[in-house]
Structures are given as structure tokens and as C-alpha cells.
Amino acid sequence: MKLQNKILATIFLIMLAAFAGTVSAASADDENSGSAYLTITSVSSDPSVFMYGDTGTVTVKVKNTGTTSVNYQ
């Protein structure tokens, strides 16, 4: 696996773990009034390939497919 693929995979896993932690905390507060489900619908990065020392933007689109609102920070 190339270095840039490892970097992108690491960034994606960190972001996925961050969203999973906040979703479980939000749904635990309001467990009797419905369910909240977050789905990551897309992930993109600019530039598409990161070289050593590069700075860029990673965009994650999230959709709430549940019946209650979700707070995240």
C-alpha cells in the first residue's frame, strides 16, 4: 500500500471513530423517543493525493437516516 493510501485510510478511520463515538453518546440520551442513525455517504479529499508535507482538505458527508436529531461536536 502506498504512503498516500495509508494516510487517507488513517484519516478516514479516525473520522469514522469520532462520529461513531458521538452517535452512541447522542442516542443514549434519547433512547426512548426514537433512533438516530448516521451514515457516511461520501468521503473526498483535495488534493486527491497527499505528498509529504502537503496540507489539504478531507470532506465527509453524513446523512441522518434515523427518526431523531443527532448532536455532534
- pLDDT means per 10 residues, the chain with 73 residues, are 74 70 50 70 88 90 86 74
| Beta-carbon contacts of residue 22 (< 8 Å; ≥ 6 apart) | 70, 71, 72, 73
Query: What gap in Å lies between CA 10 and CA 6, rounded to an integer?
Result: 6
Has this prediction a pTM greater than 0.75?
Answer: no
Asked if 36 contacts 70 with a C-beta cutoff of 8 angstroms, the reply is yes
Q: What is the pLDDT of residues 23-42, one digit of tens each?
A: 544 545 555 556 778 888 88
User: How many beta carbons lie within 10 A of that of residue 36, not counting itself?
Assistant: 20
